[in-house]
């Protein structure tokens, strides 16, 4: 710049060799322009090289990061549903990290495209880097989405399995209840068992609705291609089979409880009849035959009334015994005990009737004797 100013001063001063000075100034100017162009060209080349190596570094870092994350995304830890919530949380953190890296990915890809548009000398290498980066990033996104789907399936599968386990435990309890041979020792205990049976039948209706829903879920898992759909379907079929296997025992349990209640009612009726027999026994088995004619006549009149009661009551005894016989003929599980009680009642009833007849004969004999004594006394008095 100083040399240029000096030359300009000489020209302005009217130097005798102005033409040569002007020529030198022009040559100096052209040299300076040429040098500046070379410097700028060198600067551009260096900047392009820097941009390329920066792109290459960023691209390699991203590819390395993506490969590491791809390994994580491809793990099949969802196959084990233990701690599935923690696994879902970790995957969500991974998705957040992936989202956070998205601007950097876009920036690197945009830089590569810009270098290509500027016809950079490393265009072929840049294209290769971009292809590799986009390929690994696409694989990473695809694997991340696939992992999200599989974790959701695992979560749904775990909820399904818990539902199955809940029903399984309920079935175990029901099986123990249905195999219990205690049908009650008296009417109160039988009625308590019947109330529990009714509650159990109500539960069956609710559980059936739940099992129907689980069956629909299993079918849905099959349709969407759930990774564990075959195992889920197998468990669902086993559950339905177990549930259906309870229906006959449930029905049989109800029938036996009804039969037990019928048996207790029969025992009650038999006890009522036996109590009635015990009530009549003192009068029928009395050895009092009267001490005079009037006394015997009164006793005989009372006994005849009592025999009328027996005759009227016999239909009730027969009804109770017929009920027991019907239960035996229908194969009641307590047939032997029913038979024993019926025979015992019939024996007591027969004994009561026989004693009643004997009592009648005894009183009639006593009446004849007292009538004889009365007639003899009248004759004796007359004589």
Q: Where are the domains of the chain?
A: 2-149, 159-254, 267-382
pLDDT for the residue 120: 60
Structure tokens at 87: 């696994």
Distance separating alpha carbons of residues 193 and 174, to the nearest angstrom: 14
* Residue ranges, the chain, pLDDT below 50: none
Topology alike, domains 159-254 and 267-382: yes
Distance separating alpha carbons of residues 216 and 236, to the nearest angstrom: 10
Phi-psi region of 186 (alpha: psi -120 to 50; beta: other; left: phi over 0): beta
Distance separating alpha carbons of residues 4 and 9, to the nearest angstrom: 9
DSSP category for residue 80? S
Distance separating alpha carbons of residues 247 and 291, to the nearest angstrom: 72
So what CATH class is 159-254? mainly alpha
Structure tokens at 265: 């009612």
- Give pairs for 223-230: CB < 8 Å, separation 24+: 224/153, 226/153, 226/156, 226/157, 227/78, 227/79, 227/150, 227/153, 227/154, 228/79, 228/153, 228/154, 228/157
Distance separating alpha carbons of residues 241 and 231, to the nearest angstrom: 15
Evaluate whether 151 touches 88 at the Cβ level (below 8 Å).
yes
pLDDT (tens digit per residue) in 258-282 = 999 999 999 999 999 999 999 999 9
- E strand map for the chain: none
pLDDT for the residue 35: 67
283 CB-near residues (< 8 Å, 6+ apart): 302, 303, 306
pLDDT for the residue 16: 64
DSSP category for residue 185? S
pLDDT for the residue 208: 93
pLDDT for the residue 39: 76
Of 219, 352, 207, 223, the C-alpha closest to 275 is 352
pLDDT for the residue 180: 85
Distance separating alpha carbons of residues 222 and 113, to the nearest angstrom: 44
pLDDT for the residue 344: 97
So what CATH class is 267-382? mainly alpha
**Full-model pTM:** 0.67
Angle at 287 between CA 292 and CA 270, to 5 degrees: 135
Angle at 70 between CA 66 and CA 73, to 5 degrees: 135
pLDDT for the residue 43: 79
pLDDT for the residue 135: 94
pLDDT for the residue 34: 73
Distance separating alpha carbons of residues 7 and 51, to the nearest angstrom: 42
Place of tokens 């009661």: 309
Distance separating alpha carbons of residues 178 and 195, to the nearest angstrom: 14
pLDDT for the residue 28: 67
pLDDT for the residue 248: 95
pLDDT for the residue 17: 67
Place of tokens 């600067």: 43
Span 2-149 CATH architecture: Up-down Bundle (1.20)
pLDDT for the residue 48: 75
């Amino acid at each position: 710049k100083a040399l240029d100013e000096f030359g300009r001063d000489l020209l302005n001063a009217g130097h005798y060799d102005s033409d040569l000075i002007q020529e030198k100034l022009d040559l100096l100017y052209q040299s300076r322009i040429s040098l500046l162009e070379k410097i700028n060209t060198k600067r551009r080349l260096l900047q392009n090289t820097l941009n390329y190596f920066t792109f290459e570094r960023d691209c390699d870092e991203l590819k390395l990061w993506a490969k590491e994350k791809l390994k994580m995304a491809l793990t099949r830890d969802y196959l084990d549903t233990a701690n599935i919530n923690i696994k879902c949380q970790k995957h969500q953190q991974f998705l957040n990290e992936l989202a956070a890296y998205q601007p950097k990915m876009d920036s690197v890809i945009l830089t590569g495209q810009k270098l290509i548009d500027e016809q950079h000398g490393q265009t072929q290498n840049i294209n290769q880097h971009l292809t590799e980066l986009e390929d690994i990033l696409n694989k990473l996104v695809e694997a991340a989405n696939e992992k999200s789907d599989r974790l959701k399936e695992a979560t749904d599968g775990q909820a399904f399995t818990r539902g199955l386990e809940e029903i399984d435990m309920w079935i175990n309890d029901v099986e123990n209840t249905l195999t219990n041979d205690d049908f009650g020792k008296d009417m109160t205990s039988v009625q308590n068992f019947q109330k529990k049976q009714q509650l159990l039948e109500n539960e069956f209706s609710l559980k059936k609705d739940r099992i129907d829903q689980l069956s629909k879920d299993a079918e849905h898992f099959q349709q969407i291609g759930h990774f564990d759909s075959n195992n889920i379907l197998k468990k669902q079929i086993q559950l339905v089979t177990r549930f259906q296997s309870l229906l006959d025992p449930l029905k049989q349990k109800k029938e036996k409880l009804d039969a037990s209640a019928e048996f207790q009612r029969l025992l009650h009726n038999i006890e009522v009849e036996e109590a009635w027999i015990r009530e009549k026994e003192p009068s029928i088995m009395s050895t009092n035959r009267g001490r005079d004619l009037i006394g015997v006549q009164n006793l005989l009149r009372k006994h005849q009334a009592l025999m009328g009661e027996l005759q009227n009551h016999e239909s009730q005894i027969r009804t109770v015994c017929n009920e027991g016989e019907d239960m035996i003929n229908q194969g009641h599980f307590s047939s032997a005990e029913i038979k024993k009680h019926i025979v015992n009642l019939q024996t007591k009833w027969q004994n009561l009737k026989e004693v009643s007849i004997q009592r009648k004969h005894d009183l009639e004999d006593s009446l004849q004797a007292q009538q004889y004594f009365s007639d003899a006394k009248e004759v004796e008095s007359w004589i």
